[in-house]
Amino acid sequence: MERTSVLSLPVELLYDIHIHAASPNLPLACKHLYAVCKSAPTSVHAQYLIESYHSARAYSTVADIISLALRYPVCTQAVLDTIIRSPEYPTLSSENRRKRTELPRRLFRNLSPRPTSIGKRKRGEPEPSGWTEDDDPLPFLRYLYAHPRIRTPGADSWEGYALTKAVHAEFIPLVQFLLEHGASPQTKGALAVMVAIRRKNLPLVRLLIERDGPRQTYKRPRMRDEGPGVVTGRDGISADSARGNDTVTRDNGAKRRKLGDRVQVNQEMVKTAVQSNARDIVEYFIHEKGCVPDMQTVLLMGASR
């Protein structure tokens, strides 16, 4: 009797093995299994993630099925839709809605600064461009936050990892999105603010600190009292806002009370700005936020002149 290898089985059987094994290591056994699992239909990916969730619950505490599914690169919007339509997907109770879905680090891990000036480019190299509202992972995040059957994601998952990476990449639309959905720049010792200081990006520092800070809009309609256009500075934030002239906003002609800052400026931030030679940020901290530097920072300021 001729022996039959597992690799010679029909792909439908391999799909079943993959689902019931619920192991992320199985596709790594050989190139053939990897190709079969990677090219599997959406329904197979969804069922595999459901089985992985049931398997994980047996030996560990898992927040919810969406939090676990999002950790896997195969978890796309189409896969999530299939999971949610499954009869095995739990109904959200009022108590469960108060809990948060965890945002995985994989969505933000590859974010890095993009060049904003053309400069010298190699032949055939694409022209550099800034971040837009349609760059990943923003469309996927908007889907997660808007879906009525998904618990509201926690913007501060993994100690504010998402906000810190967005600030490092100077991905302004993503920073704004996260702030609007509850991300706190105070997390992990205000690490996001420290990163913005080291990037020497004053508009970004203001955006993180001030609740009434400048809101970047790529296609902002003109106000009645504005001239022919709005002059924008770095990252598309208006020059007036970056200088602090946007402290009072108006709704239907009425003044809106200024909100408190998200982060309290401290001496460590001033020292970091001095060490980074970000003089505009130093002036902002001292003159606008009233933070008095310590003696060591004062000496550093004197030495840098």
**Residue whose tokens read 């709005």:** 230
Tens-place pLDDT, residues 267-285: 999 999 998 988 899 999 9
Find, among 30, 46, 36, the residue nearest to 15 by Cα.
36
Mean pLDDT of the chain: 80
Whole-angstrom distance, CA of residue 227 vs CA of residue 68: 51
Query: What pLDDT shows up at residue 23?
Result: 86
What value, to the nearest 5°, has the Cα angle with vertex 43 and ends 39 and 4?
55
Confidence of residue 162 (pLDDT cuts 50, 70, 90): very high
Contact 275, 294 (CB under 8 A): no
The percent of residues in the chain predicted with pLDDT above 70, rounded, is 75
State the average pLDDT over residues 194-207. 94
pLDDT band with cut points at 50, 70 and 90 for residue 221: very low
Joined together, the tokens standing for residue 216 give 């970047």
Its sign, for the CA torsion 290, 200, 259, 264, is: negative
Six-digit token string for 179: 């702030």
Class of residue 259 by CB neighbours under 10 A (exposed 0-12, middle 13-18, buried 19+): exposed
Strands 153-154 and 101-102 come out as parallel
Q: Which residues contact 26 (CB under 8 A, 6 or more apart)?
A: 17, 18, 33, 37
Q: What is the pLDDT of residue 9?
A: 82
Pairing between β-strand 250-251 and β-strand 254-255 as defined by DSSP bridges: antiparallel
Does 194 score more than 50 pLDDT? yes
Cβ proximity of 293 and 279 under 8 Å: no
The DSSP call for residue 238 is: B
Q: Average pLDDT in the 88-92 region?
A: 76
* pLDDT one-digit tens code per residue, 22-75: 888 888 888 988 899 888 999 999 999 999 888 887 776 667 889 999 999 999
What's the pLDDT band for 164 if we cut at 50, 70, 90? very high
pLDDT of amino acid 227: 41
**pLDDT for the residue 254:** 52
pTM above 0.85, yes or no: no
* Of 128 and 93, the one with more pLDDT: 93
- Say yes or no to pLDDT of 91 above 80: no
Q: Dihedral angle at the C-alpha atoms of 241, 244, 247, 252, nearest 10 degrees?
A: -30
**Other Cβ atoms closer than 10 A to 204:** 29
pLDDT at position 14: 87
Rounded to a whole number of angstroms, the distance between the first and last alpha carbons of the chain is: 87
Rounded Cα gap, residues 259 and 186, in angstroms: 16
pLDDT per position as a tens digit, 229-271:
433 444 444 444 444 444 444 445 555 556 788 889 999 999 9
Mean pLDDT along residues 162-177: 95
Instruction: Compute the residue count for the chain.
Output: 305
Mean pLDDT of 184-208: 93
